[in-house]
Structure 1
Amino acid sequence: MMKKDSKVLIIGGGFAGARVAQDLAKAGFNHVTLVDKKDYFEVTYAALRTLAQPELGLRSRLPYAKFIQGHFHQGEVATLAPNHAELTDGSRLEFDVAVIASGSSYASLPLAKSQQAMQLSEREIELIDANQTLVQANNVLIIGGGIVGVELAGEIADHHPDKKVTLVHGGARLVPELSEKAAKVADKQLRKLGVHLIYNKRLTDQDPLLDQANLVYTCAGVTPNTDIMSQHFGHTLDDQSRLKVDGHFRVEGTQHLFALGDCANVPEGKLGYLADQQANALAKTLIALSDSKSPKAYKPNPMMALVPVGQQQGLVQLPFMVTTMNLMVNMKQKDMFILKSYKNLRAH
């Protein structure tokens, strides 16, 4: 039975995990532990722009120790067992209830989500180095035309109009996560910035485009971070390696495990603002269960997205339309939602 003095372990401190931790602590849960291999929270909405504007990154990252209201433990979970997490350093964290918010990763794009920089100071160096590498390149190749590839191409072409920027996409249109109208808008806006677009092409190792480029960014191949489940809970993963959950985020076949965000198969977009909404809903579910009440099921949202394409333009997909209205696009352009993210986490 869920109680407010239950030991709650939250694995992963991104938008989803950090929000659940904060909401539960505010609600009076006494034993909330957030574990993450990094010592800092990062507003990943801003990560691509920091490639061209490193100074923005100083505002988009914050040590967990400065704002997490429960207990923060820096460490990497190797395996999740039924009632404890085993860490790579050999230690273990006991729990009554676990929330898996381990997110996803781009193995080939540490710019978006770092795989190596576990300390805040290391991440700052990583991004400064990435900026210097970009500055020295004159021919940039971007592989993958999803939201990340489009946004990255826009940032580079806008901040560095002197560079040749080529985006190669394996499909017939950009942003396959979004509508056909959004794809056409993205195409038009990237071409306006001088980006060379190539569709329906999958590069081989010997492709001349790779030889010509000074710098290559691969913006494809997002992988859910669910390896920790394979030993004891492999049966709970779907064919995309995401955790199968019900309408209350409960992991299939369990009573005390919950999952959300990029690592769960919640039927909606894998975007930061939706991870935050899921986190708010999951916290309410756990609070209701601790009060012996029936929680409301989560209602997935239709796909919406705000995609900057450079500093002055972008597109917004809503359930009923796609728009480029400055009023809406500038909501994100102002500070890449950094302050909004901190406000949601009560970290401002």
Structure 2
Amino acid sequence: MSSRKNVVIVGGGGFGAVNARALSQKLDPAKHTLTLINSRPYIIHYPATIRMTTTAEEELEKSILFPYDKLLVNDFGTIKIARVVRVDARTEGKGGSVALDTGESIDYDVLLLAPGSVWPEPLDFPDGKEHDKIFRHVQDWRNKFKNAQDIVIVGGGACGIEYAGEVSDFFPGKKVTIVHGSDQLINSTYPDKYRKRVEQSVRAVGVDIVFNDYLDDNTITDGFVTTRKGKKIKADLVVPARGAKPATEFLKSWNSTTGDVLDAHGYIRVRPTLQLLSYPDVFACGDACDWKEQKQLAKHMFQDPVIIANILALLSGKAPPKEYKGGPEFVILSNGRYRGVSYFDYLWGPVLGNWWSRLFKSKDLLVSMARGHYGL
């Protein structure tokens, strides 16, 4: 038992869970152990959480909190529900341990960091083993949307746009305004033709947009919020939707020692092999990597083969053979249940509208596809 090499994965969201499932099939139980650590007892399918927190109509809380009971093939591996508070790495390439908030410490020979993101308040779901916590959080936000009449959404990225679409679909009598700091929605990764098409789709459902302005203070005073430029907008609910940040707080003490674990924005610095710069026995994947690309769950299709091949090579004493080249940029933005706009960076860069976007995302929110990834 003591001679087996320990593979530890921190983070059981989309990237961590899929890699844990793959490794449970490929590792040799006689030579390896596998431990997946996550702060909640389920995988949250984030593409559906905006609708889940907006309305109770589809009861998505019953279908998008995926249990771990079928994730690991042949039950090879251990899943621990706890929060990692610190990584204690030994000499370069010689393993280390992760410290949990339970007081436990778990040794690793190979570590995969997949901590994901910290999302804006409506999507910042509580940790812990108690299921009631997340249900209370969801119900609280549903009540806020139900009881509000004038809703201001802060941020015109994917999160803000999809919130505007869900509110306009399920509560068509409510007034929705997006405040966005740029002169176009989304960001400049995507071509102007797509960004203009998204704006048209959003305005078509009655959403107002305030461009080139910011809401620094979410405080509602006498029924209004005031932007940085002094514009007053009627509001009885403000929805933060500026986008996610890497969930790497637990790595800051390690970074302060080595100086090269995190970049200035808190992302994990990786080589093309997805290994950390000074720690070849530590890999990172998903939203928390500093790889210059849009942070999307779908990128796991391109990162996973690199991670799996390189971990297996390292365990067998070989040099990691694969390098990550990045994945193509594409996006499917839903605008409620029946609308949406999609873009694919293939060929001429097609922009597709309501029919295609509804078929592939807006209607089902990719729930059926995701369940298959996790063995459900």
Q: TM-score, normalised by structure 1?
A: 0.92
Aligned 8 A contact 1:316 1:329 in 2:
no
What's the offset of the Cα at 1:209? Answer: 2.8
Task: Select 1:56's aligned residue among 56, 60, 63.
Answer: 60
Between the aligned residues of both structures, percent identity stands at 25
1:172 aligns with one of 171, 176, 183: 183
- Write out per-residue CA displacement over residues 113-170 of structure 1, whole angstroms, 9 at most, x where no aligned residue: 4145653332223212211221111111100001111111111111111111111101
Q: 1 CA distance for matches of 2:363 and 2:305?
A: 25
Q: Shift in Å at residue 325 of structure 1? A: 5.5
Question: 1:316, 1:262 → 2: CA distance?
Answer: 21
Distance 1:214 1:192 in 2: 23
Which residue is equivalent to 1:96? 109
Query: Residues 219 and 125 (structure 1 numbering): CA distance in 2 closer, same or farther, change over 3 Å?
Result: same
Matching residue of 2:92 = none
Q: 1:45 aligns with which of 32, 44, 47?
A: 47
Which residues in structure 2 correspond to 1:159-308 (within 5 Å)? Answer: 159-176=170-187, 177-205=189-217, 208-209=224-225, 212-220=234-242, 222-234=244-256, 235=259, 236-291=261-316, 292=318, 294-308=320-334
Matched, 1:333 2:362: yes
Whether contact under 8 Å (1:117, 1:123) holds in the other structure is no
Partner Cα separation in structure 2 for residue 38 and residue 81 of structure 1: 22
User: Is contact 1:19–1:280 with CA below 8 Å preserved after alignment?
Assistant: no
The answer to whether the Cα contact below 8 Å between 2:39 and 2:128 also exists between their aligned partners in 1 is no
**Is 1:317 aligned to 2:343, yes or no?**
yes
Using the alignment, how far apart are the partners of 2:108 and 2:354 within structure 1?
Answer: 48
- Residues 209-228 of structure 1, C-alpha deviation per residue, up to 9 Å, x if partnerless? 36731111111152211122
Between the two structures, name the one with larger relative contact order (CA 8 Å, sep ≥ 6).
1
8 Å contact 2:302–2:327 — kept in the other structure?
no
Whose Rg is larger?
2
> Which blocks of at least 5 consecutive residues in structure 2 are unaligned?
90-95, 227-232
Matches of 1:93 and 1:173 in 2, distance apart? 47
Provide the secondary structure at the position in 2 that maps to 1:209: strand
Matched, 1:343 2:372: yes
Change (3 A) 1:204 1:74: closer
Whether contact under 8 Å (2:274, 2:284) holds in the other structure is yes
Q: Which amino acid aligns with 2:118?
A: S
Supply the distance in 1 between the matched residues of 2:311 and 2:24 (Cα, whole angstroms).
12
CA contact (8 A) 2:333 2:357 kept: no
Distance 1:143 1:118, change over 3 A: farther
Q: Which runs of 5+ in 1 are unaligned?
A: none
C-alpha contact 1:78 1:228 (8 A) present in aligned 2 = yes
Contact 1:117 1:126 (8 Å CA) reproduced = no
- Deviation string 1:256-292 (CA, Å, 9 cap, x unpaired) is 1001111111222100111353234312322244454
